[in-house]
Structure 1
Amino acid sequence: MNEITAILPMKGNSERVPNKNIRDFAGVPLFFHILDTLIDCKQITTILINTDSEKIADLAKNKEKVKIIERPNHLCGDTVPMNDIIAYDITHSNSEHFLQTHSTNPLLTKNSIEQSIHKYFKKLNEFDSLFSVTKWQTRFYWENGNPVNHNPNELLRTQDLPALYEENSCIYLFSKESFKAANNKRIGNKAQIFTLGQLESVDIDEEEDFILAELLAIQKKNKR
């Protein structure tokens, strides 16, 4: 079995949604949702939680597979690039292959994670990395009003429009080798995409995102 180390970085402070990582979300701290999903994936053997928060570390330290990495001062703050944090984390692991995701993707499923891992390893001879996207088929415009993917004079059905793919920050799969070859970037020099549905792709950046995601999570829980 091809083994993966997961990277789940979390900071204590959040500008737009205060304390969102530990805020109650459908009955438990928000980050428990993705953490428990990662724990349930057999191919994931270790979960690295890089954090500057003692509270997050305390909540996570007794969870299965978890290794806490105390975030050094030079990597603290809201403007530190994620690739810098990843570069630090992979020096604390003997693994070759990594999956990075976020605590703000609570609706991401075990099935999608396992499918993405399978696709990543299956096509390693063609691609050096993988990242998840959301497919959109709707009429997009540039800020100046010019159309992006359609001709306003030809009103095609939206399902017939050229698809655009949004990087949704849910799944990144890469190796130490591809990360280094791409100048310390999680998306390598020859990456493949993995499409997720819009519900799984919900990412919590704003208060409205939190409300929407929690409603969806509760509805999903009630259907079980």
Structure 2
Amino acid sequence: MKNIAIIPARGGSKRLPNKNILLLGGIPLIAHSILYAQKNSNFIDEIYVSTDDDAIKKIALEYGAIVIDRPDYLSGDLEPTVSALKHVLESIEGNVDNVVLLQATNPLRPQNVLAAAFEVYQKGNYDSLFTVSKNYQKLGKIVNNTFVPFNYELGQRSQDLEPLFFENGLLYIAKASLILQEIIMSENAFPFEVNSIFDHVDIDTQADFEYAEYLFEKLCH
């Protein structure tokens, strides 16, 4: 069985320029996911970075990843992530059984969550898995300038809410055959619950990056 990790990382970020190579704790953002995959080398056989950017490519190679040059037609803002994953699979030799997707913008992850998730994925014989976290907020919609509760009744205590979950982006696992069909999460993908302060780190803006810096300084030393 061959398992690979793929880290897609385009250049040209608009809201936070060059975000994938910004230094977080002295380490380029893209490198955090590479290092995380390397710590799971007992079941991850190869680590690939898909990029269209020379600076990202240079850093990825320095940290020991294999780089797949992403063509321009797969590098647009509206291009789905699965296109890059499929391109990697079509660009490498040999059969791949499972793909672990690690997003560069989610650089902070609980240390053992990938190993635990992969074990569940294998034992359950799932075709895909993704991480979720419980939401504790009282959510609602605004209709005609009126707040309409969505997951609670006015006056209800937070601890009595029916649990809702959100896709936190920490990691995804899927069969390579599914990726080749341009699917990352099937309809019966297993939702692997993770509850960590890192669940809310998804870097897209300067404020997101500063929050990640704060958590890294407090929790990752």
Task: Please provide the CA RMSD for this pair.
Answer: 1.6
Q: Which residue of 2 aligns with 1:55?
A: 55
> What is the rounded CA distance, in whole Å, between the counterparts of 1:117 and 1:205 in structure 2?
27
SS in 2 for 1:210: helix
Give per-residue Cα distances to partners, 1:106-127, cap 9 Å, x unaligned: 1113301111111111111xx3
Structure 2: gaps spanning 5 or more residues: none
Alignment of 1:157-196 (within 5 A): 157-180=157-180, 183-196=181-194
Residue 44 to residue 110, structure 1, CA distance change in 2 (3 Å) = farther
Q: Tell me the CA shift for residue 3 of structure 1.
A: 4.6
Q: Tell me the CA shift for residue 27 of structure 1.
A: 1.2
SS in 2 for 1:186: coil
Q: How many residues align?
A: 214
Q: 2:148 aligns with which of 135, 146, 149?
A: 146
User: Are 2:214 and 1:215 equivalent residues in the alignment?
Assistant: yes
> What is the rounded CA distance, in whole Å, between the counterparts of 2:158 and 2:98 in structure 1?
38
> What is the rounded CA distance, in whole Å, between the counterparts of 1:177 and 1:29 in structure 2?
32
User: Are 2:76 and 1:110 equivalent residues in the alignment?
Assistant: no
> What is the rounded CA distance, in whole Å, between the counterparts of 2:121 and 2:202 in structure 1?
22
Residue 147 to residue 198, structure 1, CA distance change in 2 (3 Å) = farther
Q: Report if the CA contact (8 A) 1:178-1:189 is conserved.
A: no
User: Are 2:36 and 1:37 equivalent residues in the alignment?
Assistant: yes
> What is the rounded CA distance, in whole Å, between the counterparts of 2:110 and 2:172 in structure 1?
14
> What is the rounded CA distance, in whole Å, between the counterparts of 2:84 and 2:23 in structure 1?
26
SS in 1 for 2:130: strand
Residue type of the partner of 2:153?
N
SS in 2 for 1:61: helix
Residue type of the partner of 2:152?
H
> What is the rounded CA distance, in whole Å, between the counterparts of 2:117 and 2:76 in structure 1?
30
> What is the rounded CA distance, in whole Å, between the counterparts of 2:2 and 2:134 in structure 1?
28
Q: Report if the CA contact (8 A) 1:137-1:162 is conserved.
A: no
Q: Which residue of 1 aligns with 2:73?
A: 74
Q: Report if the CA contact (8 A) 1:116-1:194 is conserved.
A: yes
Q: Tell me the CA shift for residue 62 of structure 1.
A: 3.6
Q: Could you tell me the TM-score, scaled by structure 1's length?
A: 0.89
Residue 116 to residue 3, structure 1, CA distance change in 2 (3 Å) = farther
Q: Tell me the CA shift for residue 101 of structure 1.
A: 1.5
SS in 2 for 1:200: helix
> What is the rounded CA distance, in whole Å, between the counterparts of 1:211 and 1:174 in structure 2?
31
User: Are 2:130 and 1:131 equivalent residues in the alignment?
Assistant: yes
Q: Report if the CA contact (8 A) 1:52-1:76 is conserved.
A: yes
Q: Report if the CA contact (8 A) 2:129-2:192 is conserved.
A: yes
Residue 143 to residue 15, structure 1, CA distance change in 2 (3 Å) = farther
> What is the rounded CA distance, in whole Å, between the counterparts of 2:32 and 2:168 in structure 1?
18
> What is the rounded CA distance, in whole Å, between the counterparts of 2:15 and 2:35 in structure 1?
25
Q: Which residue of 1 aligns with 2:88?
A: 89
Structure 1: gaps spanning 5 or more residues: none
Q: Tell me the CA shift for residue 70 of structure 1.
A: 0.3
Of stretches 141-150 and 34-43 in structure 1, the one that deviates more from structure 2 is 141-150
Residue type of the partner of 2:16?
V
Q: Report if the CA contact (8 A) 1:26-1:217 is conserved.
A: yes
Q: 1:200 aligns with which of 198, 202, 218?
A: 198
Q: Report if the CA contact (8 A) 2:5-2:99 is conserved.
A: yes
